Chain A
Amino acid sequence: MTVHNLYLFDRNGVCLHYSEWHRKKQAGIPKEEYKLMYGMLFSIRSFVSKMSPLDMKDGFLAFQTSRYKLHYYETPTGIKVVMNTDLGVGPIRDVLHHIYSALYVELVVKNPLCPLGQTVQSELFRSRLDSYVRSLPFFSARAG
């Protein structure tokens, strides 16, 4: 069980942060990839809201293929936390919420020197996020 990578987007589609832990193959240029990822999530969200037979509270939560599972968490302000893990991982909505509230809000939003709306430069945020993800119970150092 492992975490492959993590993306953080803001409401305009700007990729605020990207880190990876286990990634087997790189495809394309990173900037293109962020746009592709954001576009895909945008389309899936509108697809899910159209297909849902009931009124939704939380909306789109996760999807999985035969190789990986993508977990999604969106805040009311439009900040999107996206984590790709392998298949053995269950619901981690609370983990993504913690990344938003205890890491992004505390270290970036409340930091007067961090400009919002662009990629996060804060080294503190990067290192805290890294150590938090490595401490997760479903993260193993060996690529699963």
Chain B
Amino acid sequence: MAIFSVYVVNKAGGLIYQLDSYAPRAEAEKTFSYPLDLLLKLHDERVLVAFGQRDGIRVGHAVLAINGMDVNGRYTADGKEMLETDTFKLHCYQTLTGIKFVVLADPRQAGIDSLLRKIYEIYSDFALKNPFYSLEMPIRCELFDQNLKLALEVAEKAGTFGPGS
């Protein structure tokens, strides 16, 4: 999974929600020359293998780089707070009410900006509107968990959210 963890911090600095989903992604670097025995297809803004199998590369694997040039485009201008290391990128979005949403993701993962806003939307829909949830307390709402996990999956696949999604 390219998104490693999600944390929600309240105004006082206490952690009110935590989700860790780290599964090491198997990466194999192979050098091929033309012609390639694989059929590639553009799917959801990623280039995937549609047919063919070679050296452990199967249907569903994605092309990460061509001749060393990164395919996805690493550095997007976020405008939000962001901390970068060689193994992860930490993105933080602070709301006007002092709630901080922190996402730890793979450095190549795009669309974290819209993911942070989506998490804020999910927080206001499933945590704040829940009559049994008190503000600044740890979030124990099942619908929040479910929708958050769904949003993470969508973010990893597509990278962006459309309006009203």
Point out residues on A near B: beta carbons under 8 Å. Answer: 44, 48, 51-66, 87-88, 90-91
Min CB distance B113 to A, Å, is 12
A62 to B89, CA, bound (A): 10
Nearest opposing residue in chain B for A49, CB measure: B85
Q: With contacts defined as CB atoms under 8 Å apart, how many contacts are there between chain A and chain B in the complex?
A: 54
Q: Which residues of A contact B90 (CB under 8 A)?
A: 51
- Smallest CB gap from A56: residue in B: B87
Please, which residue of chain B has its CB at the minimum distance from the CB of A90?
B75
Mark interface residues in B4-33 (1 if CB within 8 Å of A CB, else 0).
110000000000000000101000000000
By the criterion CB–CB under 8 Å, are B81 and A58 in contact?
no
- Nearest CB in chain B to that of A52: its residue: B87
Name A59's contact: one of B24, B82, B86 (CB within 8 Å).
Answer: B86
Taking a contact as CB atoms under 8 Å apart, the answer to whether B85 and A61 are in contact is yes
Q: Give the CA-CA distance A91 to B88 in the complex, in Å.
A: 15
- B positions within 8 Å CB-CB of A: 4-5, 22, 24, 75, 77-88, 90, 104
Contact of A60 among B22, B80, B82, B83 (CB under 8 A): B83
- Contact residue among A53, A56, A57, A91 (Cβ-Cβ distance under 8 Å from B22): A53
Q: Which residue of A lies closest to B4 (CB)?
A: A53
- Please give, as numbers and ranges, the residues of chain B lying within 8 Å of A53 by CB-CB distance: 4-5, 22, 87-88, 104
In the assembled complex, which residues on chain A have CB atoms less than 8 Å from the CB atom of B4? 53
Interface pairs (15), CB distance under 8 Å:
A51-B90, A51-B104, A52-B88, A53-B88, A54-B88, A55-B87, A57-B87, A58-B86, A59-B85, A60-B85, A61-B84, A63-B83, A64-B78, A66-B79, A90-B75
* In contact, B75 and A52 (Cβ under 8 angstroms): no
Name the A residues within 8 Å of B88 (CB-CB): 51-54
With the chains together, A91 CA to B84 CA distance in Å? 10
Contacts of B80 in A (CB 8 A): 66
Least CB separation from A91: chain B residue: B75
CA distance A53 to B85 in the complex (A): 11
| A48-B104 CB under 8 A given contacts A66-B80, A91-B75 | no
Identify A56's interface contact among B24, B81, B86, CB under 8 A: B86
Task: Tell me, in angstroms, the Cα distance from A60 to B90 when the chains sit together.
Answer: 11
